[in-house]
Chain A
Amino acid sequence: MTLKPVDRRSVLQMLAAAGSAPFVLKSTVAHAETPLTVGVLYSGSKQDYGFNQSHAQAAAALKKLPGIKVIEEERVPETIAAQRSMEGMIRQDGAQLILATSFGYFKPHVLEMAAKYPDVTFAHTGGVWTAGMPENIGTFYAYIFEAQYTSGIIAGHMTKSKKLGLVAAKPTPNLLRSINAFAIGARSVDPAIQVQVIFTGDWVLPVREAEATNTLVDQGADVIAAQVDSPKVVVETAEKRGVMSCGYHSSQAEVAPNGYLTGAEWNWITPYLVYAGSVRGGKKPEHYLRAGLGDHFVKNSPFGKLVTPEARAAAETARADLMGGTRVIYSGPLKDNKGNVVIPAGVMQSSNDRALDGINYLVEGIIGQV
């Protein structure tokens, strides 16, 4: 972290507040005469009810701000084509800020373009900036697992069978962190709750996701959570089977008006505004930007109609605790589902603890294997 935490936090909070009050923003990012052109690249469709849509929603919010022009390109493959898109945005549209929203854009595409265009700021989702990389690169990500934790609390309150189902893509560290947080949240309500995970093996496999959902419902799970790229199919299938569901990335409430409880959503507008602010201010971008619920980098979907007042209250308390820093999700003693102690008693791994980056276990109470 290059900036002092206090410094960064205050900046972020100010900008997050500005998100809901555009007139404040006018003085911070949108003061200049010439519009700021922002180029956004997506690896898939903007309407995927998933990760890309969460970015597209932030881009749409950015577009509404005065003095900002947004150009977008969808389905840009993570190949040399990404460089061509970025170059086109810079040279033809005069983009001063490039938001590269897919993991594979970073190496080597963003690195090469940033070296070639030192006056343009590049912000990349998920990459990790290290010393020696071009100074005009910022990398940002969000602690989505904090929102998964609150989703878990809701699911834990709502389940009657004490069995939750989870359809996940691949056991990557980021997903494992979220899966564990969901289970820890649910089991904080009732330690008897079990979470059954099915890994489909890839990011987008609609038919297998539907099969996995059906299997979990057959096994008695009455809340199904999705951690795949486009959770629409999982949420929809759960709705068809008459069980409750929790979403991911963006809100899937529309496809499951009855059973959708809540979901863990990205709130990318916050980091977008941070980088727009640094371009406006003529400053270097923040190289490693990570934050969670407290800094409005993530949020939960509005609670569904089934969610009881107690569940709401518990989730709100948890959210307030997480935002205030009085609650740490990964705190010992914590066992994995093979019985090994992974975090000893007295140890707390807060959200920005880099020890969580390489997480490779599933916690106690999860039926599944990495």
Chain B
Amino acid sequence: MDGTSIGWLALPLAILGGAIRVSTPFIFVSIGELITEKSGRINLGLEGTLMLGAMAGYGISYLSGSPWLGVLSAGLAGMAFGLLHGLLCSVKRVNDTAIGISLIVLGTGLAFFLGKPLIEPKAPPLPSIALGFWSSVPQVRAALDVNALFFVGIALAFAVYVFLNRTGWGLMLRTVGDSEDAARALGFPVLRVRIIATMAGGFLAGIGGSFLSLSYPGSWSEGLSSGQGIMAVALVIFARWRSVNALGASLLFGGAGALGPALQGIGVTGYYYLFNAAPYILTLAIMVASTSRAAPFADAPGELKLHR
């Protein structure tokens, strides 16, 4: 091994780097979805919101020259989609799952349509913070080139935890999500809370999308999401509707996702289909291990159901 290669050490480094690089969109989408689901609604449309956010963020960053403005507009675009979902689902006997699926199609379609002229131009990307400055090893420096949004995501997970468990508004949100009747008896504006919660979820998912196009991989293309939005929604269930767990699940998922390429990189060349499936296998294994027969839906918001 020559000086430019670090051999086996690359594996933990790739997992660390992968966790940092890949997990950010998962953190934002899953925490956004968590807020929505805590209000008693499920928004499957976040895959579409993610794509729309990725496109909007890239487009605005390109047009304005400011990537942070891009992030903001991605969030606003996502919020508009959340509002749409929230309003549509407020109509009686409208199924939130079905609306979510149609919003996936609408969001990706709209993003493809409006994003057509954005494939070629190069938008200014989000700057990253060089946390590896202390190291002389280029690989370490590269792995620790961390985007600021990653830290925002971590802070967000704890902020949402505090919001849900220590504030009056958080209590209202949880009440609306757990028992509509109780919320009505207390005089809470059920629909308004749900719509705002869905908008907040959309806002965060849009930001998650802007990370994809503005930081990593860092450009707008139509195959950008490849199912990450859907996966992030699933991570909420995996995290049992707890924001700090969702953060952990996202990090785990990102790190495990780096396993496939990294193992091939260090020379473990076989079984790459299996290693590429590592995040899913890991998720499944933990879910099976953490199920409880006595109370399978113990942590799920009471109003959250597939049929209404």
Query: Chain A interface (Cβ within 8 Å of chain B)?
Result: 44-45, 47-49, 75, 161, 163, 196-201, 204-212, 214-220, 222, 229-230, 232-233, 236-237, 240-241, 254-255, 367-369
* Residue from A49, A201, A254 within 8 A of B276 (CB atoms): A201
Cβ-defined contact, A198 with B223, below 8 A = no
Q: Is B160 part of the contact surface with A, judged by Cβ < 8 Å?
A: no
Q: What's the Cα separation between A209 and B13 when bound, in Å?
A: 17
A208/B6 contact (C-beta < 8 A), A47-B116, A237-B217 known? no
Task: Mark out the residues of chain B between 194 and 235 whose CB falls within 8 Å of any chain A CB in the assembled complex.
Answer: 212, 216-219, 221-224, 226, 228
A198/B265 contact (C-beta < 8 A), A219-B5, A232-B221 known? yes
Q: What's the Cα separation between A214 and B13 when bound, in Å?
A: 11
Cβ-defined contact, A214 with B119, below 8 A = no
B258: chain A residues within 8 A (beta carbon): 211, 215
Q: What's the Cα separation between A220 and B223 when bound, in Å?
A: 28
A236: chain B residues within 8 A (beta carbon): 217-219
A75: chain B residues within 8 A (beta carbon): 112
Q: What's the Cα separation between A296 and B265 when bound, in Å?
A: 35
Cβ-defined contact, A230 with B269, below 8 A = no
Shortest distance from the beta carbon of B16 to any chain A beta carbon, whole Å: 11
Q: What's the Cα separation between A254 and B5 when bound, in Å?
A: 29
8 A-B contacts, Cβ less than 8 Å apart?
A197-B269, A198-B261, A200-B260, A200-B261, A201-B260, A206-B212, A207-B257, A218-B14
Cβ-defined contact, A206 with B13, below 8 A = no
B22: chain A residues within 8 A (beta carbon): 207, 211
A200: chain B residues within 8 A (beta carbon): 260-261, 276
Size category, B interface: 35 or more
Residue in B closest to A211 when the chains form the complex, CB atoms: B261
Q: What's the Cα separation between A212 and B10 when bound, in Å?
A: 12
* Residue from A196, A211, A241 within 8 A of B18 (CB atoms): A211
Shortest distance from the beta carbon of A43 to any chain B beta carbon, whole Å: 12
Contact with A along B8-20 (1 / 0, CB 8 A): 0010011001100
Cβ-defined contact, A44 with B260, below 8 A = no
Q: Is B264 part of the contact surface with A, judged by Cβ < 8 Å?
A: yes
B228: chain A residues within 8 A (beta carbon): 207
* Residue from A161, A198, A201, A217 within 8 A of B142 (CB atoms): A217
Cβ-defined contact, B5 with A220, below 8 A = yes
Query: Chain B interface (Cβ within 8 Å of chain A)?
Result: 1-2, 4-6, 10, 13-14, 17-18, 21-22, 112, 116, 119-120, 122, 139, 142-143, 212, 216-219, 221-224, 226, 228, 257-258, 260-262, 264-267, 269-270, 272-273, 276
Residue in B closest to A229 when the chains form the complex, CB atoms: B223
Cβ-defined contact, B14 with A368, below 8 A = no
Shortest distance from the beta carbon of B30 to any chain A beta carbon, whole Å: 16
Q: What's the Cα separation between A91 and B102 when bound, in Å?
A: 32
Q: What's the Cα separation between A163 and B260 when bound, in Å?
A: 20
Shortest distance from the beta carbon of A222 to any chain B beta carbon, whole Å: 8
B260: chain A residues within 8 A (beta carbon): 200-201, 208
A219: chain B residues within 8 A (beta carbon): 5-6, 10, 265-266
Residue in B closest to A202 when the chains form the complex, CB atoms: B226
Q: What's the Cα separation between A200 and B273 when bound, in Å?
A: 8
Residue in B closest to A362 when the chains form the complex, CB atoms: B269
A207: chain B residues within 8 A (beta carbon): 22, 212, 216-217, 226, 228, 257
Cβ-defined contact, A214 with B5, below 8 A = no
* Residue from A198, A218, A241 within 8 A of B264 (CB atoms): A198
Residue in B closest to A241 when the chains form the complex, CB atoms: B142
Shortest distance from the beta carbon of A161 to any chain B beta carbon, whole Å: 5
* Residue from B4, B14, B17, B216 within 8 A of A161 (CB atoms): B4
Q: What's the Cα separation between A198 and B272 when bound, in Å?
A: 9
* Residue from A44, A196, A201, A237 within 8 A of B222 (CB atoms): A44
Q: What's the Cα separation between A332 and B116 when bound, in Å?
A: 47
